[in-house]
Amino acid sequence: METDIATEPAAGTGSDLETTDGTVTVRTTHPGGNGRVLEVDGEAIRLEPEIRDSTRRWFYWYVDAESDADQTLRIEFPSDEVVGPRGPAVRTAMPCGGPIGNGAWDEWRWLGADHRIDATAFRYAFDAGERVQFALSFPYQRADFDAFAFEYESDPRLSLETLTTTAGGREVPVVRLGPSDADRHVALAARHHACESTASYVLEGVLRELLESEAMEPLLETHRVHAYPFGDLDGVERGDQGKYRGPHDHNRDYVDANEISELSPLYPTTSAIADDLRSLESLSLAIDFHCPFKWGGDINDRPFFVTEPTAASDELRGLAERLEDVTRARSSETDPTLTYDASPGVGLASFDSQSGLLHTFERYCSQLGAEPAASLEVPYVGTATDPVTPSTARRFGRDLAVALGATAR
């Protein structure tokens, strides 16, 4: 499957940095790369997230580092608290001797609290020749989606289409599952905010459960599922924050077709998704997958649907209760899982600034009749008992699929 379809020039930079004991090469040329080197000082490399065209300071970063010597370095973010409670996400290149491509990396994992110095810094002991990637949380790029899609390529229920082409020349995928003549439809989307990567693992988990579980067959006999995995594929691959992109971000671009003002979508992908949604006969249910603020605070460490708890529709409340039941029933005492708590203020919670009048995917789907039409926030880090990892996030998606199976009308 072709992944390198971009026509825009490769973004990112690479710098050879002289440390006390050797040289470390820090790059952001890989898909999703983000991080500016500020300075090197002995055993400390100082970085900052690149904010690019976001209008507020945000926290996404994802760098690649290769050391020519055995050395322990401190990676510091002098102006940003962007090292989470379990340290950064990390993966190491497998020492196979060949060029490093996708698939030549270990699984992403948390580096661990023992490597964390504080919210602005962590420590890592490099082996000579070792290549490592570090990020705020677990990245999910186009190549990760392609690896998923490749597994199910021969399944006749799945069709993978190109929805449109981005301004950067990238082909935007849409996944369709279920009968092409269904008269009821489910819409799922992610990455309207490019940096919100853990949401993608949940969406992938939903699709895996739909394809693998016999219990999902009734849903797929009556509904066609349309999944838009990359609302902002250029941003995902360039490693943009995407959140608060100026003049407005992709999740503020679903302007009404019949609006009195002259507004029209800025971005080809949101325009194409809106057209696609409008072409569906009857939209039953829609979920847009997001990530909240980085961690901490009242709501950022547990999954939640964005709603004033008292304003949640019966349908959304029903979905939330079923999701709570499914995650608890399927939670395991041996492996950590991500459970869901439907309590008001935990699993049904609102942002201070969230307005129902914004031009979001959720609102657009709601206007097309979807009920529930909801945004689901997936934490970047999670809690000690409910940690977010690639596997717990996929598992949570599987649980959500089961809950959806009992919800979709």
**Which stretches does DSSP call E strand in 183-295?**
184-190, 223-228, 283-290
Whose Cβ is closer to Zn ion: residue 152's or residue 293's? 293
Site string for Zn ion, 3-32 (x = CB under 5 A): ------------------------------
Please say which residue, 185 or 192, places its beta carbon nearer to Zn ion: 192
Pairing relationship of beta strands 36-41 and 44-48 according to DSSP bridges: antiparallel
Comparison of 249 and 386: residue with beta carbon closer to Zn ion: 249
Q: Which is nearer to Zn ion, 74 or 248 (CB)?
A: 248
Judged by CB under 5 A, the stretch of 15-23, 44-52, 157-165, 285-293 that binds Zn ion is: 285-293
| Least distance CB 290 / Zn ion (angstroms) | 3
Q: How far is the CB of 266 from Zn ion (least distance, A)?
A: 17
Tell me the closest approach of the beta carbon of residue 193 to Zn ion, in angstroms. Answer: 4
Interface positions, 124-153, toward Zn ion (CB under 5 A): none
What is the per-residue DSSP string for 112-169?
-GGGEEETTEEEEEEPTT-EEEEESS----HHHHHHHHHHTTT-TTEEEEEEEE-TTS
Please state the closest distance from residue 288 (CB atom) to Zn ion, in A: 8
- DSSP of 358-382: S--HHHHHHHTT-SSEEEEE--SSB
Number of Cβ within 10 Å of residue 55's Cβ equals: 14
Return the half-sphere exposure (C-beta side, CA atoms, 13 A cut-off) of residue 121: 13
Using DSSP, how many helices (H) and how many strands (E) does the chain show? 8, 19
218: left (phi over 0), alpha (psi -120 to 50) or beta: alpha
- Return the structure tokens found at 377: 């926030």
Q: Which is nearer to Zn ion, 235 or 405 (CB)?
A: 235
Type of residue found at 289: F
Nearest distance, CB of residue 59 and Zn ion, angstroms: 13
Give the nearest distance from C-beta 117 to Zn ion in angstroms: 29
Phi-psi region of 357 (alpha: psi -120 to 50; beta: other; left: phi over 0): alpha
- Residue 292 or 309: the one with the smaller Cβ distance to Zn ion is 292
Selected from 290, 302, 322, 359, the binder of Zn ion by CB under 5 A is: 290
CB 195 → Zn ion: shortest distance, Å?
9
Segment interacting with Zn ion (CB under 5 A) among 32-40, 52-60, 127-135, 289-297: 289-297
Count of other CB atoms within 10 angstroms of residue 165: 16
**Residue nearest Zn ion, CB atom distance:** 290
Residue carrying structure tokens 């649907």 = 305
Residue 239 Cβ, how far from Zn ion at the closest point, in Å? 16
Largest Cα separation within the chain, whole Å, is 66
DSSP SS3 for 30: coil
Measured CA to CA, the distance from residue 217 to residue 210 in angstroms comes to 8
Whose Cβ is closer to Zn ion: residue 231's or residue 265's? 231
Binding mask 51-90 for Zn ion (x = CB under 5 A): ----------------------------------------
Q: How many residues bind Zn ion (CB under 5 A)?
A: 3
* CB contact set of 322 (below 8 Å; sequence gap of 6+): 402, 403, 406, 407
Do the Cβ atoms of 205 and 397 come closer than 8 Å?
yes
In the bound state with Zn ion, the residue whose beta carbon lies nearer, of 132 and 376, is: 376
Q: Whole-number minimum distance, CB 357 to Zn ion, in Å?
A: 17
Binding flag, residue 238, Zn ion (CB under 5 A): no
Specify the residue, 76 or 240, whose C-beta has the smaller distance to Zn ion.
240
Site for Zn ion in 178-207 (CB under 5 A): 193, 196
- Where do contacts with Zn ion occur on this chain (CB under 5 A)? 193, 196, 290
